[in-house]
Copies of this chain bind each other. A is one copy, B any other.
Amino acid sequence: MSSSDSLSRRLLLKALAAAPAIPALLGTTIAQAETPTPLASWNDGPAKRAILDFVRATTDRASPSFVPQEERIATFDQDGTLWVEQPIYSQVIYCLDRVPSLVKAKPELANVEPFKTVMTGNLEAIGKLPLSDLEKLIAATVTGMSVDEFRAEVTAWIPKAKNKRWNRPYTDLTYLPMQEVLSYFRANGYKTYIVTGGGQDFVRVYSGKVYGIPVEQVVGSPGGTSYGYGKDGKPFLTKVPKLLLNDNNAGKPEGIHEMIGRRPYAAFGNSTGDQQMLEYTKAGDGVRLSMLVLHDDATREYAYGPAQGLPESKVGTFTQALYDEATKGGWFVISMKNDWRRIFPFE
């Protein structure tokens, strides 16, 4: 490299440093220069190697599996893949937390199920409520208000609500190794999407701050909205109790097609609800990457399956059949215990 090339390069890097969105567009050279140790929280092993190999194969212009930047899509399940899902999904906690103020506003609800049971605070009894009651609970707590009111309510709840085991906000409990995967993919020109069974509007409230993922790259289970006018004549959208798409199982590839319109090149999940997304991703042409996070670390996080003889769990089921499909289909299973040197950013 000549000295003027070197100067040019330094000046360019300096300019780029001031514009954080740019490095991704310049491809791997600068991105790698700025990320000297990608996946620093990962132990060396087949999972880490699979990620590095995949990104190199699809972003190196000399590679036969090179993928043009506009087609680089990577999708990530959220609960259990990007952050802790035990003992219960954070969004369910949100719905439960909303009940007291709901009952305060409409006291007649105090004697009506499922609100009556929820008000007792007895988590075991709440866990036994029938599905129809849970649907009533969701309808009552996340619909009937404007999308702006909902956003404001969730925004206010997020910093106050805490996971009891770690005594930290849920948004602190993201997996550092997966945050590194998100950054690494983006630094290499991939658009990263969350594809979650959770409520789309809920996840969008914090996706930017927590994962660096903009709202338009969150594909979830979207609730319907209804367009109308306020007393001031101004139009607004009201959240209505209508599920537009159940973004689980077959709903994940269907939702990906509707919302993104491209088959992902890489997909990450952790449960049977992610099976179809990972199959669909892996079945595409060229080199594709499908990975499953296995929760096998009871000490640092949780251990549940029932794959590999781990205890069954009410949320995030990872069956032995799914494990076998991963092995057979050339997916990779990420062992939290063995593949992750650190789990949480705060450790």
Contact = CB atoms under 8 A, between A and B. Distances in A.
A243 to B, nearest CB: 12
A131 interface: no
A280 interface: yes
Contacts of A22: 22, 25-26
Contacts of A222: 258
Interface string A275-288: 01001100100000
A258 B11 contact: no
A216 interface: yes
A250 B279 contact: no
A10 to B, nearest CB: 10
Interface string A289-319: 0000000000000000000000000000000
Given A25-B21, A254-B237, A261 B216 contact: yes
B19 A258 contact: no
A8 interface: yes
A116 B201 CA distance: 46
A34 to B, nearest CB: 15
A234 interface: yes
Contacts of A204: 261
Interface residues of A, number: 47
A227 interface: yes
Of the candidates A258, A259, A260, A262, the one having the most CB atoms from chain B within 10 angstroms of its own CB is A258
A125 interface: no
A15 B19 contact: no
Nearest to A251: B227
A235 interface: yes
A204 B258 CA distance: 11
A227 B254 CA distance: 7
A12 B15 CA distance: 8
Contacts of A267: none
B11 A283 contact: no
Nearest to A232: B283
Q: Which 3 pairs from chain A and chain B are nearest by CB?
A: A215-B261, A227-B250, A8-B11
Given A8-B14, A227-B276, A234-B283, 17 more contacts: A8-B11, A11-B12, A12-B15, A22-B22, A22-B25, A25-B25, A147-B257, A200-B258, A200-B261, A216-B259, A222-B258, A224-B254, A225-B253, A225-B258, A235-B279, A237-B254, A237-B257
12 contacts: A7-B11, A8-B11, A21-B69, A25-B25, A70-B208, A204-B261, A215-B262, A225-B253, A225-B258, A227-B280, A235-B279, A244-B245
Interface of A: 7-8, 11-12, 14-15, 19, 21-22, 25-26, 69-70, 147, 191, 200-201, 204, 208, 214-216, 218, 222, 224-227, 234-237, 244-245, 250, 253-254, 257-262, 276, 279-280, 283
